[in-house]
Chain A
Amino acid sequence: MIMHFEYDIEGGDFSKAGNVSSLLKKTLKQLVGNHKIVKRVVVAMYEAEVNVVAHAYSGKVIIDIDIDKISIYLKDKGPGIEDIEQAMQDGYSTASEQVREMGFGAGMGLSNIKNNADEFLLNSEVGVGTELKIVAYLKNL
């Protein structure tokens, strides 16, 4: 493994939403030459970070950068997702008015994350929280 990062995300604080994604982007720009891959990873990270801020009480992000892939694990404490299949459908959202005012909450986030990831794994327990794993391969380097 080349690099390992851990960050905390605060639920509900939109002024900081994107801070982790921004740090990740700055790091990847130094390490990964292919900017299309960098963009895919940071867009997925950003949508996931906004999801934690929008829906959870708190969250943790672990990022592992390897020679051949980037793995991102997000674990949050929050209400969880009742029906993951439904949540994955474009246009389905439980976001609040505040989240919509921020330019999100249209029910596109999860599919946006999936479209930008090579591996996507989502698990959730209602009343406990949600875990998301995103992996992007660096095969085009």
Chain B
Amino acid sequence: MKIKDIVNIINGKVVCGKEQMETDIQRGFASDLMSDVLTLDTDNILLITGLANLQAIRTAEMSDITCIIFARNKKVTQEMVYLATENQMVLIECACSVFKTAGELYKAGIKPVF
């Protein structure tokens, strides 16, 4: 599914990475625990989290995750945008809960990692 379609489904706001809206993503993972994210060896996934801090961006960088959705109305900081832009990531803010965000995307065809 293209990132632009993901944004539409969750009614999200793209904070940075607007030039990557045509990128295709197949699978998703939801966690606030970054150590859990770091155990994954699946490529090309999106991360749904309520953890809005620099470590979420660093974790995504190490895990080759290029798209992060910040659910529960969490706001992305300028520092996060700077680091994400340096690593060509897409950051999306979303007012829904992690549960609803994941549910809507699953319904639309995004597959789980496991």
Contact = CB atoms under 8 A, between A and B. Distances in A.
A102 B32 CA distance: 9
B38 A14 contact: no
Q: Which 7 A-B pairs have the closest CB atoms?
A: A18-B58, A103-B34, A108-B35, A46-B62, A103-B51, A102-B55, A42-B62
Given A36-B41, A39-B41, A103 B56 contact: yes
A102 B53 contact: yes
B75 to A, nearest CB: 16
B37 to A, nearest CB: 8
Contact of A17 (B38, B41, B58): B58
Interface residues on A, range: 20 to 34
Contacts of A86: none
B54 A18 contact: yes
A25 B55 contact: no
Contact of A47 (B35, B41, B54): B35
Interface of B: 32-36, 38-39, 41, 49, 51, 53-56, 58-59, 61-64, 79
Contact of B55 (A17, A36, A43, A115): A17
Interface string A86-119: 0000000000000001111010110010010000
A104 B32 CA distance: 9
Given A46-B58, A103-B53, A112 B35 contact: yes
A35 interface: yes
A92 B91 CA distance: 32
A130 interface: no
Interface in A36-79: 36, 39, 42-43, 46-47, 50
